[in-house]
Structure 1
Amino acid sequence: MAIKFQYNKTALHHLNKQLNIRLKALPTLKNKEAALRLEVKKAKDHAGMLEQQFNNTIKAREQSAGLWNEFLPELIKIATIKLSTKKIAGVAIPVLEEIVFDEKEFSLFAKPSWFPHGILQIKQLGNLVTEREFYLRKMALLDRARKKTTQKVNLYEKVQIPGYEDAIRKIKRFLEDEENLSKSAQKIVKKRQQKHKALSA
């Protein structure tokens, strides 16, 4: 990124100010990136653990799979999922508070005796699937924020900070050269004046 600037002290002051802002922000951005990276890993690991639990639960119930043909799916469904938010490294992230199920009443005498246990199993599976889906989405949200932060870190570290440093160096050299030329010019004028005085006397 080419930084536009003029060769004067005002531009030098402005560039120094911009450079200092970025130098001060960089450690904070790096910490934010590291924190987000850690949270992405935690969410991914948690989603993986829930996936494993779900698969284990399904595998353990394979023997009784035939019974589920009798079950009435309308007896239970997820009514609401209660969420809250918390900030992780300045990013608002949803927090799963509670999964609320809506259960319909049924006659214990008219339906098979395993229905209440079946409802508990469906709740367990519903919790696992919903929580896993939640953590996968949380992971995606955190990863998007992490990528944006990484881009900003790279922009500061690899483009803007070197660009500002280079521009500052160029202005300083220019001002030094200008000052040296000015001093040389003053010396020449002084010598000429001294010579002129010597000849006049």
Structure 2
Amino acid sequence: MAKLALNKTTLNREGGRLKAFRQFVPALDLKRKQLLAARQETQQLLQTNQKKLQDLHLCVSEKLPMLAGAEIELSQLLQVQKVEVKYSNLVGLELPELAEFNVELSQYSRLVLPHWVDTVLLLQEQALKLEVEIRVYQQRLQILEAGLQKTTQRLNLFDKVLIPQTEKNIRKIRIALSDAERAGVVRAKIAKNKRRRLQL
């Protein structure tokens, strides 16, 4: 780091830097608060969907025990047709959210297959959508965590390093300028006294 020049030009420059740093801090703090709120909301949505999926699995095992012993191939009857994720901007971060989810149900004979197949397919569709939403929320959460970490680091850099260092530099320069001014006054008085003695 370059040696600090103890003059008025440097004092003005450091004063300008301090003012700029102090303007950044509230904006960064607001960004951090927005990211914290978004992270908390995403965590709640993720937990809600995970609970729904867990309840759905429980519902299937309780209400459709015949599914465990059935040798019917149901995976071919339901296919995911479209998953569309859109992105929204939050304080510079592109956050994913599920925009569209469609499944295609293959034609099957309701006379050949048992009556409970309709219920299974409906529950399977709900489970697939929940699984996709969970993945999207997990990805969203990762992006928010990374953004929050970066913003917190920047805030700490300004708040705990740059601002205190600049304030310290300003104090140091003011003390040096004040000392130089006092020394100048003392020199002027000594010179005045010498001239007076020489005139006598």
Same fold per superposition (TM over 0.5): yes
Offset at 1:69?
3.8
Amino acid of the structure 2 residue aligned with 1:28: A
Runs of 5+ consecutive residues of structure 2 not aligned to the other structure: none
Which stretch of structure 1 is more off in the superposition, 173-182 or 87-96? 87-96
Offset at 1:42?
0.9
Structure 2 residue matching 1:74: 3-state secondary structure: coil
1:121 aligns with 2:123: yes
Amino acid of the structure 2 residue aligned with 1:84: K
Runs of 5+ consecutive residues of structure 1 not aligned to the other structure: none
Offset at 1:66?
3.6
TM-score scaled by length of structure 2:
0.87
1:83/1:96 contact within 8 Å kept? yes
In structure 2, C-alpha distance between the alignment counterparts of 1:80 and 1:184, rounded to whole Å: 85
In structure 2, C-alpha distance between the alignment counterparts of 1:66 and 1:137, rounded to whole Å: 36
Match of 1:193 among 164, 175, 195: 195
In structure 2, C-alpha distance between the alignment counterparts of 1:12 and 1:96, rounded to whole Å: 53
Offset at 1:109?
4.4
Aligned to 1:175: 177
Which stretch of structure 1 is more off in the superposition, 47-56 or 14-23? 14-23
Aligned to 2:14: 15
TM-score scaled by length of structure 1:
0.87
Note closer, same or farther for the CA distance 1:79–1:7 as it changes in structure 2 (3 Å cut). Answer: farther
1:29/1:149 contact within 8 Å kept? yes
Where do residues 47-126 of structure 1 align in structure 2 (5 Å cutoff)?
Answer: 47-63=46-62, 64-67=64-67, 69-126=71-128
2:87/2:94 contact within 8 Å kept? yes
Aligned length: 197
2:85/2:100 contact within 8 Å kept? yes
Aligned to 2:33: 34
Q: CA RMSD in A?
A: 2.1
Identity %: 24
Offset at 1:43?
0.6
Structure 1 residue matching 2:95: 3-state secondary structure: strand
Note closer, same or farther for the CA distance 1:3–1:162 as it changes in structure 2 (3 Å cut). Answer: farther
In structure 2, C-alpha distance between the alignment counterparts of 1:152 and 1:77, rounded to whole Å: 46
In structure 2, C-alpha distance between the alignment counterparts of 1:163 and 1:95, rounded to whole Å: 42
Structure 2 residue matching 1:5: 3-state secondary structure: coil
1:3/1:167 contact within 8 Å kept? no
